[in-house]
Amino acid sequence: METILSIKQLSKRYGRIQAVKDLSVEISRGQIFGILGPNGSGKSTTLSITLDMVRSDMGSYSWFGENNSKECRKRIGSVIETPNFYPYLSPVRNLEIVADVKDLDHSDIDRVLELTGLYERRNTKFKTFSFGMRQRLAIASALLGNPEVLIFDEPTNGLDPQGIAQIRELILLVAAQGTTIIIASHLLDEVQKICSHVAVLSKGVKLFDGKVSEVLAISDSFEIAAADMGSLSAVIATHPEFASFKPKEDYILVYFNGDVKPGELNQFLYQQGVVLTHLSERKRSLEQHFLELLNENA
């Protein structure tokens, strides 16, 4: 797979705050790559560095395996934080400036305005736009000229549910055409719904990365209890899918690697000579899982 963005050992410090620490990430063509982390985990800083807005203290990055970051940026469409446009200019005039900077001709402007539902308002000044429309213009500007890579930093922040749904649809639509997409988000749900790959950041450090289905795989846990808790904990550890357990007050919390059904578990323990007095399956929400990931590495 062709590497689109390669980040090597990136570090950035703002005064006493270590925003990004020794971060390495590889993003390949065609991936929908989520950068997931709570607020202040270094997502935006990382993107700002790769877009040449912020200088890193250490480390390097390269787009498309090339060194000329200015020319590479012309092949990338970005929606970073707030939409930044000239308020006294209309969407068309604003996009003309974007097209000129990116060395594109102006023929694509109408298409992206139609795609984002702004065509009717194409000649109204930007300053009269609502927040949702501003965000849509930012997306239109990113889509201009069908770039190879799209970057979204918190793309649905501050939008109403309808707007969120529209933007997610739009992202998936573009992704279906083979565009590589990078999304920074603090919403696990968003990453889960859209992304194929994910890197989880916390306090500027990468905790995990890989396929969403693997990193964010949910292994359910069980509460189990027996008359003889000692032999229960010994026996449960011999289960082929056993991952770990946590002794609680009157039960043991067991995690498994694979998919284990309550019936199977009961049967397995019974065959090993343990009779359960309590068995309860625990479904973890994604959020819970995500928070656990963060806590384990805090």
Binding residues for other proteins (CB under 8 A): 48, 51-55, 70-71, 73-74, 78, 80, 82, 84-89, 93, 96-98, 100-103, 141
- Count Cα atoms within 13 angstroms, Cβ side, for 56: 25
Please say whether the dihedral angle defined by the alpha carbons of residues 44, 46, 49 and 51, taken in this order, is positive or negative: negative
**44 vs 166, beta carbon nearer other proteins:** 44
| CB 189, min distance to other proteins, A | 27
| CB 15, min distance to other proteins, A | 13
| CB 187, min distance to other proteins, A | 23
| CB 298, min distance to other proteins, A | 28
| CB 192, min distance to other proteins, A | 27
**63 vs 256, beta carbon nearer other proteins:** 63
**29 vs 93, beta carbon nearer other proteins:** 93
Residue 81: phi and psi, rounded to 5, are 45, -115
How many Å apart are CA 53 and CA 61, to the nearest integer? 13
Give the ranges where 43-187 is alpha helix by DSSP (H). Answer: 43-50, 69-73, 91-101, 109-115, 131-143, 161-176
For tokens 């200088």, name the residue. 55
Find all residues with CB under 8 Å of 100, minimum gap 6, and list them: none
**69 vs 231, beta carbon nearer other proteins:** 69
Find all residues with CB under 8 Å of 261, minimum gap 6, and list them: none
For residue 229, count other CB atoms closer than 10 A to its CB.
Answer: 16
Residue 272: phi and psi, rounded to 5, are -85, 5
| CB 257, min distance to other proteins, A | 42
**62 vs 82, beta carbon nearer other proteins:** 82
Q: Which tokens go with 43?
A: 């997502």
For tokens 């929908």, name the residue. 32
**67 vs 280, beta carbon nearer other proteins:** 67
